[in-house]
């Protein structure tokens, strides 16, 4: 049998609803506040310092065997840059593609895919972890970034390596929607940090970053720039794009993506 709600119950319902909407709008304001956002950002610094302390320079990400390679892979972000210039390169099997290496280096380089393939390489079967939460295991082969940087000769002032990509992930008026990423020298010199041109024993497919992508095995997927066109050594990335060191970093994600 239904009884009409007593005035007390009605009062309670209203009070609860009021408290609820108050809490929600408080949450809204907190999460929207510039000061709260920047204070929360401190967690990235703590995580970076503690992980660097625990991991050191050379701790290797786990490597797997052939039988562990996933049946299914997934590509995120851009799956095909689809610009005229990129399509022309892709049609020619990237024979005309050249990687520019510049910035704070003694010998700027211009390398073809073949040049990269003849450099010291590393093959590794590793797990790719996306910031969204999913993972797959694949086999990657590529040129060691440390060898490439040694050949270019880093200037003493160089602190970060910046990767400029062929894809535009967001249409913007000022061009800040173009994908780019940056890593520091600890990660750049890590033995597993490679510029991959092959995935699962085949040329790197377009959805996974053809012709060249970064593998940075101790961090999340968004750090591993795809469709790399140019690599610069820099002292700071504050003056690049929106200043946070990467496409996703410019949109609130952590620069250090070790967690």
Partner 1 sequence: MLKEPVERVLSGGRRAVYRHPLVVRMWHWLNALCLLVLLLSGLQIFNAHPALYWGQVSVFDKPWLAIGSGDGPAFPSWITLPPWQDLAGGRHWHFFFAWIFVVSGGAYVLYALVSRRVHRVLLLSRGELRHLGGSLADHVRLRFPRGEQARRYNPLQKLSYLILLFGLLPLMILSGLTMSPGLDARFHFLTLLFGGRQSARTVHFFTAWAIVLFFVVHMLAVLAAGPLTEMRAIVTGWFVIGGRKEER
Contacts of 163 (CB under 8 A, 6+ apart): 180, 181, 182, 214, 225, 228, 230, 231
- Report the residue number, 127 or 242, with the smaller CB distance to partner 1: 127
When the beta carbons of 181 and 217 are compared against partner 1, the nearer one is 217
Shortest Å distance, C-beta 244 to partner 1: 11
Least distance to partner 1, CB of residue 137, Å: 5
170 binds partner 1 (CB under 8 A): no
Rounded-to-integer distance, Cα 181 and Cα 250, Å: 10
Choose which of 15, 16, 18, 24 interacts with partner 1 (CB under 8 A): 24
Separation CA 47–CA 219 (nearest Å): 12
CA angle 211, 216, 222 (to 5 degrees): 75
Counting contacts by CB under 8 A, is residue 16 touching partner 1?
A: no
Compare residues 114 and 251 and give the one whose CB is closer to partner 1. 251
Is 54 a residue that touches partner 1 (CB under 8 A)? yes
* The one among 12, 22, 60, 150 contacting partner 1 by CB under 8 A: 60
Among positions 73-112, residues that touch partner 1 (CB under 8 A) are 74
Binding mask 128-167 for partner 1 (x = CB under 8 A): -xxxxxxxxx------------------------------
Question: Does the protein bind partner 1 through residue 252 (CB under 8 A)?
Answer: yes
Name the CA dihedral angle for 213, 163, 155, 157, rounded to a multiple of 10 degrees.
-130
Positions of E strands within 169-203: 178-184, 194-199, 202-203
What's the min distance (Å) between Cβ of 229 and partner 1?
26
- The conformation of residue 69, written as its DSSP 8-state character, comes to S
Residues 6+ apart with CB under 8 A from 142: 116, 121, 122, 194, 195, 196, 197, 198, 212, 215
């Amino acid at each position: 049998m239904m009884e009409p709600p007593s005035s007390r119950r009605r009062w309670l319902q209203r009070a609860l609803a009021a408290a609820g909407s108050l809490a929600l709008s408080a949450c809204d304001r907190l999460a929207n506040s510039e000061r709260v956002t920047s204070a929360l950002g401190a967690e990235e610094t703590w995580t970076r310092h503690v992980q660097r302390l625990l991991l050191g320079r050379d701790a290797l990400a786990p490597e797997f065997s052939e039988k562990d390679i996933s049946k299914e892979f997934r590509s995120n972000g851009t799956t095909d840059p689809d610009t005229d210039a990129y399509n022309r390169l892709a049609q020619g099997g990237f024979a005309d593609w050249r990687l520019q290496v510049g910035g704070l280096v003694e010998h700027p380089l211009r390398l073809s895919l073949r040049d990269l393939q003849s450099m010291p390489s590393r093959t590794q079967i590793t797990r790719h972890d996306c910031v969204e939460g999913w993972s797959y295991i694949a086999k990657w082969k590529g040129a060691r970034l440390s060898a490439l940087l040694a050949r270019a000769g880093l200037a003493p002032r160089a602190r970060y390596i910046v990767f400029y990509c062929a894809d535009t992930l967001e249409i913007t008026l000022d061009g800040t929607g173009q994908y780019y990423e940056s890593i520091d020298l600890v990660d750049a010199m890590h033995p597993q940090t490679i510029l991959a041109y092959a995935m699962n024993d085949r040329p790197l497919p377009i959805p996974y970053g053809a012709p060249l992508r970064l593998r940075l095995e101790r961090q999340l997927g968004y750090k591993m720039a795809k469709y790399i066109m140019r690599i610069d050594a820099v002292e700071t990335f504050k003056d690049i794009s929106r200043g946070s060191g990467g496409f996703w970093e410019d949109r609130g994600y952590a620069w250090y993506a070790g967690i």
